[in-house]
Amino acid sequence: MSREASTRGRWRSIPACRATEGVGCPGARDEPVLLSVGGVAGHSPARVTDLIVARTDGVARVTLARPPLNILTPALIDAVGGVFRDLARDPAGLRAVVLAGSGRAFSAGVDVQTMRDLDVPRARALIGRLHAAIAAVRECPVPVVARLHGHVLGGALELSLGADLRLAAASCRLGMPEIEVGIPSVIEAALLPGLVGWGRTAELLLLGESVEAPEAERWGLVNRAVPDDALDGEVDRWIGRLAALPPGAVRQQKALLGHWRQIDLDSAIALSMDAFARAYATDEPRRAMQAFLERGRAGTDRSERATDP
């Protein structure tokens, strides 16, 4: 079976939900669409509802596709988790992933109509599904860059926190408005204190107000806020940089960053020392350092020729 056919076989068609409202966007209407999904292992489309996945030249692009606001339904949440688990199972040649949203927004959050009618067991199940999807993003073996525009609210902001890097359009607004609809912000909202501090976290979660991307950059919530028309170019630049770096070292560094968030300093240092030594189990350091030295010699030669009388 071809890699393309194998990829199609792994996907299942997920029924689209009807018009919904997202947290923080009362009255927002979201019409279901069925879009082609680029094969995770190849270049040709497979089929999945409300998600577009394309993988070319070592870069996978995962795009939420429930325009205009990409409301997170249970089906879409499960699809995101499934895509990232598939990427982790078939990582050969993968260098980086872009997580984005189509239409007017990255995502306005989880479907409020779905949440309104939950009871305790179903609430526990839904939040478990959302956590599983975000965990799959966090556990992707290569860096994930979140491309953020429009609204990034509630569960969608938590989804972006699963990424390693966040690039936002200057007009983007980010927030955790769950408090407005009677529920606390949970699961990966617990990552916020490490990014923005406890005071900013309390401001986001207790007031439920959103912040604009330039302010989010100052807080550390996003890595960079750029002019709207420069967003795609900056995403491509970062992805190109990640794809050009030694892949084994990039994967090791991502894994270390994940471990460092969960262990004490002494354990983090010990783990890092082991990772440094294990890097030499392959010839990647030797090849990368040799290329570095050769570039340096070439630069020195050019400089000497330029200064010769």
- 93-104 pLDDT, tens digit per residue, is 999 999 999 999
pLDDT tens by residue, 239-292: 999 999 999 999 999 999 999 999 999 999 999 999 999 999 999 999 999 999
Query: In this structure, are residues 64 and 4 in contact, taking their beta carbons and an 8 Å threshold?
Result: no
pLDDT classification of 16: cutoffs 50, 70, 90: very low
Q: Which of residues 193 and 46 earns the better pLDDT score?
A: 193
Work out the mean pLDDT of the chain and round it to a whole number: 86
Delineate the domains of the chain, giving CATH numbers in brackets. Answer: 3-244 (3.90.226.10), 247-307 (1.10.12.10)
Which SS3 state, helix, strand or coil, does residue 289 take?
A: helix
Residue 93 region, left (φ>0) first, then alpha (ψ -120 to 50), else beta?
A: left
pLDDT band at 24 (very low <50, low <70, confident <90, very high): low
Which three-class secondary structure state does DSSP give residue 84?
Answer: helix
Partners of 60 in the beta sheet? 55, 97
Mean pLDDT, residues 282-306? 79
Distances in whole angstroms, Cα of residue 301 to Cα of each of 45, 135, 287, 292, 309: 48, 49, 21, 14, 15
Q: What is the pLDDT of residue 296?
A: 84
Tell if the pTM clears 0.85, that is, is over it. no
Judged against a pLDDT cut of 50, whether residue 166 lies above it is answered with yes
pLDDT at 28 over 60: no
Query: Is 195 exposed, middle or buried, given 0-12, 13-18 or 19+ CB atoms closer than 10 A?
Result: middle
Query: Could you give the CA distance from residue 73 to residue 126 in angstroms, rounded to a whole number?
Result: 10
Query: To the nearest whole percent, how much of the chain has pLDDT over 70?
Result: 80
CB 66 within 8 Å of CB 81: no
pLDDT for res 104: 96
Q: 1 in helix, strand or coil?
A: coil
What per-residue confidence (pLDDT) applies to 199?
98
